[in-house]
């Protein structure tokens, strides 16, 4: 059967093959050159996060992804307002279609795999506009001065033109971020998506830990960073003030409580230990006697991408729940429009306070569940500011269980999808080992034999790693952290940094031993 008859996506081939793309290197890229490109892209990313969208009225803007900013590597109202969400959403769509055999592509076939990757690029562009247009026409408000100036050019069309200008800017920023991701993937170390997440989370944690500036407009001299805040309290509170609430304020009060720093350190150590845990299969080279090595199967085998995909899914659920509850157009949808059980939102807020969206939403820190369960005097920590709203202990327990279950089940599904779509399953790995000339000592040098051996480990470790990642991410959320970084974002940052360190070590080893490139590139 011809390839064109295998999948309907081949009808898009003439279009997707002509899309702009970053050129692949012709040969091996030197380690120093990879470091240089990675550093250049990182500097460019930080520069773009500080470029404000022209014509945007920040005071009237509502950030739909405010609680997911640290994960999606975007800065609200900046040139990279969309962050990596278009890239992640495009990946989710294709993975779901591939897992359900809707697109009917064999990713072990080079031509099918090339079409899959080209289609993902096309979907990224589609998702950029799918996300940019509704936000610009509903939640990113243009400034009055820009609208008035454009009204002078085209009478009555100033608001439309202003919104189109905003859409064009954040769409261009989203596409530039996508190209920067390709540059890092082909010319740098790791992936751009991972690099941007680490950059955003690290910036937030550093600011939350060391910022000495007080909360703007609060009138209080207390610094916002946890360490300067601790030093300030030690130097300014009397013994009586410590006993009457000083300890509680320092440990629990937002922003950046001391317990957040303690939990951040604990999460860092647990994730670092989990990343270093692995099963190592002995290997020997079939044509070079005495050449031996080990093939590592990590505990977190599916990498951190499933957690990113689950975070994106959670953000999309939150987004549509808010639209169905607050948007006049979406409120007209039968059964789900304006229904509190989908998700209840206060005016001007992007965080649900009731309904299904609240039950599966992020549980951010001990103040979101443990402290209200211990004592009723902490129940106000859950109430929205300025609103008389309370939760029973049964509701709090149900929310913890629902969030934990959602994270583990979703990570399990995405981990299995990810391993299959990235050629990390037992059959693909067996072929890679066979092509590299390696074999397991004591077994015939046959990919079918290798596949049977690997099937003892890879399917089980994939499912276990998915459940483990989901449980660890949910647990990180429940512990909390500093710098407005959620537990998921901190988990991702530590995992990505650990993998980046290992990748750098691998690159240096390949520089010293070029014969190893064939095995690692396979």
Q: Looking at 188, 220, 255, which one is the last position of a domain?
A: 188
Predicted pLDDT at 225: 92
Q: 466 and 319, same structural domain?
A: yes
The answer for residues whose C-beta is within 8 angstroms of residue 176's C-beta and 6 or more apart is 48, 79, 80
Q: Do 287 and 427 lie in a common domain?
A: yes
Q: Is residue 117 in a domain?
A: yes
pLDDT tier at 510, thresholds 50, 70, 90: low
How far apart are alpha carbons 362 and 353 in whole angstroms?
12
**Are 183 and 301 found together in one domain?**
no
Residue 118 pLDDT grade (very low, low, confident, very high; cuts 50, 70, 90): confident
Residue 449 predicted with pLDDT over 90 = no
Q: CA 282, 298, 410 angle in degrees (round to 5)?
A: 145
The overall average pLDDT reported for the chain is: 85
Q: DSSP for 313-350?
A: HHHHHHHHHHHHHH-TTGGGSTTTTT-TTT-EE-TT--
* 442 assigned to some structural domain: yes
**Is 133 a member of any domain?**
yes
Write the DSSP symbol of residue 22: P
Indicate if 292 and 179 belong to the same structural domain.
Answer: no
Residue 281: the pLDDT is: 84
Spatial neighbors of 258 by CB under 8 A, at least 6 apart, are: 226, 229, 230, 250, 251
Q: How many other C-beta atoms are found inside a 10 Å radius of the C-beta of residue 376?
A: 10
pTM higher than the cut 0.85 = no
Angle (nearest 5°) at CA 71 between 64 and 315:
40
Rounded Cα–Cα distance for residues 502 and 32 (Å): 16
% of the chain residues with pLDDT over 70: 94
Residue 292 gets which letter from DSSP?
E
Domain-embedded: residue 21: no
Phi and psi at residue 89, to the nearest 5°: -65, -40
In this prediction, residues 283-294 reach a mean pLDDT of: 68
* Domain span holding position 150: 1-13+30-188
Number of structural domains in the chain: 2
Residue 287 shares a structural domain with residue 167: no
What is the C-alpha to C-alpha distance for residues 469 and 270, in angstroms, rounded to an integer? 12
Task: Please indicate, yes or no, if residue 249 is contained in any of the structural domains.
Answer: no
Query: Can you state the percent helix, strand and coil of the chain, rounding each to 5?
Result: 65, 5, 30
Q: Per residue in 17-50, pLDDT tens?
A: 888 888 888 877 888 899 999 999 999 999 999 9
User: What angle, rounded to 10 degrees, do the helices at 192-210 and 487-512 form?
Assistant: 120
Is 232 contained in some domain?
Answer: no
Of residues 11 and 188, more confidence is placed in: 188
- Cα–Cα nearest to 81, from 166, 208, 201, 199: 166
Torsion of CA 215, 219, 220, 221, to 10 degrees: 90
Q: Which of 188, 215, 248 is the last residue of a domain?
A: 188
> How far is C-alpha 307 from the chain's CA centre?
7
Are 175 and 306 contained in the same domain? no
Residue 34 forms part of a structural domain: yes
pLDDT at 522: 44
């Amino acid at each position: 059967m011809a390839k064109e008859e295998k999948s309907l996506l081949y009808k898009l081939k003439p279009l997707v093959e002509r899309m702009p793309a970053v050129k692949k290197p012709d040969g091996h890229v030197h380690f120093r050159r990879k470091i240089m490109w990675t550093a250049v892209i990182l500097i460019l990313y930080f520069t773009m996060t500080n470029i404000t969208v022209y014509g945007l009225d920040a005071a009237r803007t509502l950030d739909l992804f405010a609680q997911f900013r640290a994960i999606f590597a975007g800065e609200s109202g900046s040139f990279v307002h969309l962050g990596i969400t278009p890239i992640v959403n495009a990946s989710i769509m294709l993975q779901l279609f591939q897992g359900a055999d809707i697109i009917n592509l064999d990713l072990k076939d080079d031509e099918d795999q090339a079409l899959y990757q080209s289609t993902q690029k096309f979907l990224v562009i589609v998702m950029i506009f799918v996300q940019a247009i509704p936000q610009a026409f509903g939640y990113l408000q243009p400034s009055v001065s820009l609208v008035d100036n454009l009204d002078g050019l085209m009478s009555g069309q100033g608001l439309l033109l202003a919104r189109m200008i905003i859409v064009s800017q954040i769409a261009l920023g989203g596409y530039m971020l996508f190209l920067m991701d390709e540059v890092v993937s082909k010319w740098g170390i790791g992936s751009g998506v991972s690099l941007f997440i680490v950059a955003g989370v690290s910036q937030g944690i550093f600011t939350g830990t060391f910022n000495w500036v007080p909360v703007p407009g609060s009138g209080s001299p207390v610094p916002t960073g946890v360490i300067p805040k601790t030093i300030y309290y030690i130097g300014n509170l009397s013994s009586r003030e410590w006993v009457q609430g000083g300890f509680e304020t320092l440990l629990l009060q937002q922003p950046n409580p001391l317990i957040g720093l303690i939990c951040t350190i604990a999460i860092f150590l647990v994730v670092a230990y989990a990343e270093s845990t692995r099963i190592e299969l002995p290997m020997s080279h079939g044509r070079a006697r005495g050449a031996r090595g080990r093939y590592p199967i990590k505990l977190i085998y599916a990498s951190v991408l499933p957690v990113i995909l689950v975070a994106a899914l959670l953000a999309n659920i939150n987004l549509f729940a808010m639209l169905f509850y607050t948007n006049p157009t979406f409120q007209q949808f039968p059964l789900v429009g304006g229904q509190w059980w989908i998700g209840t939102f206060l005016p001007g807020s992007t965080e649900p306070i009731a309904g299904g969206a609240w039950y599966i939403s992020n549980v951010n820190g001990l103040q979101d569940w443990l402290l209200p369960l211990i004592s009723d005097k902490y129940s106000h920590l859950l109430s929205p500011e300025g609103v008389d709203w309370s939760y029973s202990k049964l509701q709090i327990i149900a929310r913890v269980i629902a969030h934990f279950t959602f994270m583990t089940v979703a990570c399990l599904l995405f981990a299995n999808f990810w391993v299959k779509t990235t050629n990390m399953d037992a059959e693909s790995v067996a072929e890679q080992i066979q092509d590299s000339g390696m074999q397991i000592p004591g077994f015939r040098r046959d990919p079918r034999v290798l596949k049977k051996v690997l099937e003892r480990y890879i399917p089980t470790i994939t499912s276990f790693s998915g459940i483990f990642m989901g449980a660890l991410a949910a647990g990180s959320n429940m512990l909390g952290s500093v710098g407005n970084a959620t537990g998921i974002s901190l988990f991702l940052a530590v995992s990505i940094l650990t993998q980046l360190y290992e990748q750098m070590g691998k690159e240096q080893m390949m520089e010293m031993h070029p014969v190893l490139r064939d095995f690692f590139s396979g």
